[in-house]
Amino acid sequence: MTLTDEKAAVAEERLTTLGAHLRTALDGRYAAERARNRATFPAEGALRPVEMGIEESRDWTLARLRALDAAGFGSAGVPERAGGHADPLEAVLTFETLAHADLSVTIKSGVQFGLFGGAITNLGTAWHHDAFLPGVTSMELLGGFAMTELGHGSDVASLETTLTYLPDTDELEVHSPTPAATKAYIGNAARDGRMAVVFGQLVVAGERHGVHAALVPLRDEDGRDLPGVTTGDQGHKGGLLGVDNGTLTFDRVRVPRRMLLDRYGGVDESGTYRSEIADPNRRFFTMLGTLVRGRVCVGGGGAMAARRALSIATRHALRRRQFPAPGRPDGVLLLDYVVHQRRLLPLIARAYAYGTAQNALIAALVHVQGDDPSTERDQRELETFAAGMKATQTWFANRAVQEAREACGGAGYLSENELTALRGDVDIFATFEGDNTVLMQLVTKALLTDYRHAWSALDRTGVVQATTKAVGERVMERTAAGLMLDRLAATARRRPEDTTLVDRGWHAYMVEERERHSLESLARRMRAAAKDGGDPFEAFNRLGPHVQFVARAHMERVTLAAFVETVEACRDREARAVLERLCSLYALASIAEDRAWFLEHNRMTAARSKGIGDQIDALCRELRPHALALVEGMGIPRGWLTAALLED
């Protein structure tokens, strides 16, 4: 698509000038690609009629995905053959575009191309690519990603399924030794899948080599389970009815040795285990690490669901009047009520904030998985960032969709207004691709590791006076956005109380302090717990709520840094002024939620804290006239919203 086409598309949407600029700013470095996706996505018929039963929903979803794949919105980014071009950016942006519409289709595409295709691409080698990727991308071969087991959801290392090498026949035996080893919640398992990437403990000559994955055929051409394979249908769910989640068990199923996805570890022709990564733990995390794209996608998909819901609720609030008031005989527009503004506008600010951070996350993914050289540290940081963004954005999506539903009253409960389907579909985003609470633990674990490294590095360089503060700062200042935030914070650090409540330096200082101090105190408590001598599980278990707090504080800091960078990059004066306010609203809402913490830790006076609520109200009031543009900026084309309550 040429630039002229893009302009025509925007014109067709009839965006306000401000809305167009806000959209460009929020789309950020991927504005051109996103505009192209919006202009070419076949939006008609994009939402499944809600009355459909399970089988009909599955039929519809599969057919829709085939049509989208044919239109270039399915396997985009997945290479079609060995040596083919894998484009992580195209993959992520395509997923995001799909998430503007039916989420069953989105998730089914994620299962087929992201998980099934992604595992073959990333864990397999040339033979696997040549043999299977053409079928994956054309959807002739539908497959599942069989990692989770009934007994082991978040705890992948404890998977019970075994992949045992049989030297006599040069085969792998795939086996589910217990009911708890049953693969569960596997998309494409209940009906459509013909094959699955099955994760299990690789056993060679009696020795265990940890979790590996193999390609295992599930069904014959007519859809009957192959010998030894038992598939199960998990039936009706709270949403995503179009995805056929099911169970898989294997009773000593044999596949040829080469079906093992052996990029990071495999069995050679002599029947010996070989891996370039000697440390089994490092190998395990390297293998899992290649799957990070799924988390980037799911977080971004959740964000789109939130934006859709907020678009519907805000557009409704700009039409709907209720209760006459002095000077307003026809009733007051919902969005003119301060209480209603407080429900929606801070959520919109947060949607923008996460959008900017998601852009930074995508850039990190492209850096690591693209053609540039990248380090193991880059990879590890990407995983942490992706884990945090997935948890943060999907929790946010649930909250935003529910608030939007309530803000639309009874109309919000009618399925014709899209919100209840969104709510049901997005619910599970908080659980799949990693339970959010567990992901937040991962974030903090990574921060603690960095913290220990920074500490010992300082120690080695002889800085014996190294304060924990210096260590904390070293941990935080890696990215350009982080450095920018840190410079801002420096302007407020000396006399924070002399700043205004919308001073960006003060916001930066506050969110940095929250992360730094809570991380330092957690590290101290961890050390004390390690020395405690009591039950080590209990000692660390008690730090659980603190661990969650640190992860949240970190993600809020990273998000603010990204938002500030986006504001700085905006060249349109009017849009920038609006973004400044949105950024302040986000920062203040974040600080307000933890203002007890700031008061307890003497980072803010009571008088200042008391003023935050009024300042938030003032920002809402200032943003209120731009509400439509804010919605347009979130990027969901009006024509894609089918909610009946927006019709005349």
Tell me how far, at minimum, the Cβ of 448 lies from its own copies, in Å.
Answer: 16
CB 233 within 8 A of CB 226: no
- Choose which of 164, 393, 398, 444 interacts with its own copies (CB under 8 A): 398
Candidates 224, 544, 568, 569; binder of its own copies (CB under 8 A) is 544
Q: Does 231 bind its own copies (CB under 8 A)?
A: no
Between CA 59 and CA 304 the distance in angstroms is 24
Q: Does 236 bind its own copies (CB under 8 A)?
A: yes
Task: For residue 130, state whether it binds its own copies (rule: CB under 8 A).
Answer: no
Report yes or no: 275 and 264 within 8 Å, Cβ to Cβ. yes
Q: For residues 311-330, which are near its own copies according to CB under 8 A?
A: 322-328
How far apart CA 60 and CA 353 sit, in angstroms, is 34
**Residue (400 or 454) nearer to its own copies, CB:** 400
- Taking the complex as a whole, how short is the minimal distance between the CB of residue 332 and its own copies, in angstroms? 7
Tell me: does residue 601 bind its own copies (CB under 8 A): yes
**Contact partners, residue 273, CB within 8 Å, separation at least 6:** 165, 202, 204, 205, 207, 209, 265, 266, 267
| Cβ neighbours for 63, distance < 8 A, ≥ 6 positions apart | none
Token match 């249908």: residue? 233
Residues of span 80-99 touching its own copies by CB under 8 A: none
- Min dist CB 292 to its own copies, Å, is 20
- The half-sphere exposure of 360 on its side-chain side, counting CA atoms within 13 A, is 25
Stretch that binds its own copies, among 9-17, 359-367, 522-530, 588-596 (CB under 8 A): 588-596
Contact pick of 13, 416, 574, 622 for its own copies (by CB under 8 A): 416
CB 166 within 8 A of CB 254: yes
Residues 467, 473, 475, 478, CA torsion sign: negative
- In this chain, which of 375, 537, 573, 647 binds its own copies, going by CB under 8 A? 537
* Calpha distance 622→584 (Å, rounded): 12
**Contact range with its own copies by CB under 8 A, out of 350-358, 416-424, 464-472, 555-563:** 416-424
DSSP state of 46: -
The helix/strand/coil state of 213 is strand
Nearer to its own copies, 493 or 601 (CB): 601
Contact window for its own copies (CB under 8 A) among 147-155, 297-305, 453-461, 509-517: 147-155
Output the smallest distance, CB 413 to its own copies, in A.
5
Q: Which of 19, 28, 74, 239 binds its own copies (CB under 8 A)?
A: 239
Q: Do residues 393 and 302 lie in contact, with contact meaning Cβ atoms separated by under 8 Å?
A: yes
Q: What is the C-alpha separation between 464 and 459, in angstroms, rounded? A: 6
The residue among 414 and 484 lying less far from its own copies, judged by its C-beta, is 414
**How many C-beta neighbours within 10 Å does residue 281 have?**
10
User: Which tokens belong to 231?
Assistant: 């598939």
The three-class DSSP label of residue 254 is strand
Q: Which of 42, 134, 135, 153 binds its own copies (CB under 8 A)?
A: 153
Part of the chain binding its own copies (CB under 8 A), chosen from 229-237, 297-305, 360-368, 567-575: 229-237
Indicate whether 642 belongs to the interface with its own copies (CB under 8 A): no
Strands 273-274, 321-322: pairing kind: unpaired
Q: Quick one: DSSP state of residue 117?
A: I
- Nearest distance from residue 436's CB to its own copies, in Å? 7
Residue 405 engages its own copies in binding (rule: CB under 8 A): yes
CB of 211: closest distance to its own copies in angstroms? 15
Q: How far is the CB of 530 from its own copies (least distance, A)?
A: 12
- Of 268 and 532, the one with the shorter C-beta distance to its own copies is 532
Q: Applying CB under 8 A, which part among 97-105, 118-126, 482-490, 608-616 lies near its own copies?
A: 608-616
Regarding 154 and contact with its own copies (CB under 8 A), the answer is yes
SS3 601: coil
Q: Nearest Cα to 101, choosing from 190, 38, 58?
A: 38
- Angle value at C-alpha 367, between 366 and 370, nearest 5 degrees: 60
CB of 281 to its own copies, least distance (A): 15
Binding to its own copies by residue 410, rule CB under 8 A? Answer: yes
| Minimum gap (Å) between residue 322 Cβ and its own copies | 6
**Residue 201 touching its own copies (CB under 8 A):** no
Residues of this chain, 47-76, that bind its own copies according to CB under 8 A: 50-51, 53-54
Cβ at position 537, least distance to its own copies in Å: 4
Which residues in 464-523 contact its own copies (CB under 8 A)? none
Q: What are the φ and ψ backbone dihedral angles of 83, each rounded to 5 degrees?
A: 75, -5
Contact call for residue 339 and its own copies (CB under 8 A): yes
550/611 Cα distance (integer angstroms): 25
The nearer residue to its own copies, 148 or 359, going by C-beta atoms, is: 148
Site for its own copies in 155-184 (CB under 8 A): 155, 158, 184
CB 18 within 8 A of CB 575: yes
H or E stretch covering 507: helix 504-531
Based on the shown chain and the rule CB under 8 A, indicate whether residue 647 belongs to the binding site for its own copies: no
Nearer to its own copies, 40 or 402 (CB): 402
- Residues within window 437-466 making contact with its own copies, judged by CB under 8 A: 437
Number of residues interacting with its own copies: please give it, by CB under 8 A: 77
- For 170: left if phi > 0, alpha if psi spans -120 to 50, otherwise beta; the answer is left
Burial 379-403 (b: 16+ CB within 10 A, else e): bbbbbbbbbbbbbbbbbbbbebbbb
C-beta of 166 vs 414, nearer to its own copies: 414
Least Å distance, CB 258 to its own copies, is 32
Q: Looking at beta carbons only, is 85 or 328 nearer to its own copies?
A: 328
